[in-house]
Amino acid sequence: MLLEVRDLHVEFRTRDGVAKAVNGVTYSVDEGETLAVLGESGSGKSVTAQAVMGILDTPPGRITSGEILFQGEDLLKYKEEERRKVRGAKMAMIFQDALSSLNPVLSVGAQLGEMFTVHRGMSRKDARAKAIELMDRVRIPGAAARVGDYPHQFSGGMRQRIMIAMALALEPALIIADEPTTALDVTVQAQVMDLLAELQRELSMGLILITHDLGVVADVADRIAVMYAGRIVESAPVHDIYKAPAHPYTKGLLESIPRLDQKGQELYAIKGLPPNLMNIPPGCAFNPRCPFAQDICRAEVPPLAEVDEDRRSACFFWRETLDAAASSGGPRA
Ligand SMILES: Nc1ncnc2c1ncn2[C@@H]1O[C@H](COP(=O)(O)OP(=O)(O)O)[C@@H](O)[C@H]1O
Ligand SMILES: [Mg+2]
C-alpha cells in the first residue's frame, strides 16, 4: 500500500474553542490508484490532506493521534527535515488556486527549473530544458517561447497546468489534488481534469482527488471515500457506490446531482446544516439530518465496518440504506 492513514485526529485550538476537524480518518491509496474524497465543505478533506503532506497550519492545528504510513513508514515519526525531503520528491500537492501557490515574481520557467536545480543538482541550463519539457507535457502551447513568462501572464487553466507540472516535476509516487479545477470555467475544468487523469495513468501515481464534482469522480476515480464531520463514513469502489450507497449521507450526496433529464427541477439538497465542529452531536454525527436515524444512532458512534469486499460503511443501518437505494430505482449518475 502506498499510503495508509490510520485513525487520524486533528484539532484546532482557537480563541472560540477547540474545533475537532478530523476525528479518526482511516483511508488508503494504492500505487497507481485514484481515490476520490467527497464531502461537504468543512468536513475535514483539506485538513487531512495537509496532515499527510506535513503542511498543517500548526498552531492552531495539531495532530493529536493517528498514523500516516507512506511506503510503509510512519511520517509522523519523521523530523521536519526528513519530511521536507519527502515533500515534492515523493508526494506533491495541487491546490485550487494556482495564482496564490505560484511565486508571482519568478518566471514559471525559473520556478519549474528550481525543482531540478534544488532537488536534483542540475545546472540552470539543463533545468531550463527540463522546464520546457514539463510545460510541453502539460500541453502549454509554445512552451519554449513562454518559459520566461510570469504566472499572471497565463490564463487560469494554463496556470493550473503549470501547477500540475510543478507537482509532477520530480515524478512523485503520490499526488494530492485539492479541488484542482473548482476555480476554473466549466469547459476548462474538463480539459485540466482529463490531463491530470491521463498523466496519473501514464506515470502510475497514486492520486487523492478532493472534489465536489460527482461527474468527475465517476470518470476518473477507482475508489471513493466520503467524509462527514472529520470521519470517513463510507469507502468503496466507485461503481459500488454509484450502484447503491451504503450510507445515508452518501445517498444524499448522490441525490443532489442535478439530472440532465429533469431540467428545472429543484436540486435535492441534504436537509439541515453540517455539524458545529466545536460541538459535534453524540453518536453518529449525521444523525440529526438522517432519515434512517434511530435511538442507537444518537447513543453510539457507528464504527467504519466492512460491509462487503473492499467496502466499508459507518452506519448501523447500512443494509436498509442499500435496500432503499435499490428499491428507489437505483442511482442517478
Ligand atoms: N487554519 C485553521 N484554523 C482554524 N480552524 C481551521 C483551520 N483550517 C481548518 N480549520 C477547521 O477545520 C475544519 C475543516 O476544514 P477543511 O479540512 O478545510 O474542510 P474541507 O472538507 O472543506 O476541505 C474547518 O471547518 C475549520 O473548523
Ligand atoms: Mg477543502
19 lines ligand 1 (CB under 6 A): yes
List Cα–Cα distances, 220 to 1, 213, 304, 333, in angstroms: 20, 11, 25, 14
Q: How far is the CA of 261 from the centre of ligand 1 (A)?
A: 36
Give the residue among 285, 254, 282 at the shortest CA–CA distance from 270.
254
Give the residue among 189, 164, 191, 160 at the shortest CA–CA distance from 176.
164
Q: Which atom of ligand 1 is nearest to the CA of 60?
A: 3
Using most ligand atoms within 8 A of CB, pick from 8, 9, 12, 93 the residue to mutate for ligand 1: 12
- CA 219/CA 238 separation, integer angstroms: 9
Per-residue pLDDT of the chain (333 residues; tens, 9 = 90+): 999 999 999 999 999 999 999 999 999 999 999 999 999 999 999 999 999 999 999 999 999 999 999 999 999 999 999 999 999 899 999 998 888 889 999 999 999 999 999 999 999 999 999 999 999 999 999 999 999 999 999 999 999 999 999 999 999 999 999 999 988 888 899 999 999 999 999 999 999 999 978 888 988 999 999 999 999 999 999 999 999 999 999 999 988 766 555 545 455 578 899 999 999 999 999 999 999 999 999 999 999 999 999 999 999 999 999 999 777 654 544
39 lines ligand 1 (CB under 6 A): yes
Using most ligand atoms within 8 A of CB, pick from 15, 46, 179, 226 the residue to mutate for ligand 1: 46
Contact 76, 8 (CB under 8 A): no
Ligand index nearest the alpha carbon of residue 39: 1
Q: Output the pLDDT for position 279.
A: 96
Q: Which atom of ligand 1 is nearest to the CA of 19?
A: 27
- CA 208/CA 190 separation, integer angstroms: 17
All structural domains of the chain: 3-221 (3.40.50.300), 227-327 (no CATH)
SS3 at position 12: strand
**Which residue, by CA, sits nearest to atom 6 of ligand 1?**
12
The reply to whether the predicted model has a pTM over 0.75 is yes
276 lines ligand 1 (CB under 6 A): no
Cell of 205: 501515481
Quick one: DSSP state of residue 22?
E
Q: How far is the CA of 178 from the centre of ligand 2 (A)?
A: 7
50 lines ligand 1 (CB under 6 A): no
List Cα–Cα distances, 210 to 41, 55, 88, 140, 207, in angstroms: 11, 16, 19, 24, 10
**Which residue, by CA, sits nearest to atom 24 of ligand 1?**
42
24 lines ligand 1 (CB under 6 A): no
Q: Output the pLDDT for position 326.
A: 76
Q: Output the pLDDT for position 270.
A: 84
Ligand index nearest the alpha carbon of residue 277: 1
Q: Which atom of ligand 1 is nearest to the CA of 10?
A: 12
Q: Output the pLDDT for position 164.
A: 95
Give the residue among 151, 153, 172 at the shortest CA–CA distance from 162.
151
37 lines ligand 1 (CB under 6 A): no
45 lines ligand 1 (CB under 6 A): yes
Q: How far is the CA of 45 from the centre of ligand 2 (A)?
A: 6
Q: Output the pLDDT for position 100.
A: 83
129-155 burial, b if ≥16 CB within 10 A, otherwise e? Answer: bbbbebbebbebeebeebbebbbeebe
Q: Output the pLDDT for position 212.
A: 76
Amino acid at 297: C
- CA 239/CA 255 separation, integer angstroms: 15
Give the HSE-up count for residue 313: Cα atoms under 13 Å, Cβ half-sphere.
22
Backbone φ and ψ of 223, nearest 5° = -130, 160
Q: Output the pLDDT for position 215.
A: 81
SS3 at position 168: helix
Q: How far is the CA of 31 from the centre of ligand 2 (A)?
A: 24
Cis peptide before 288 (omega within 30 of 0): no
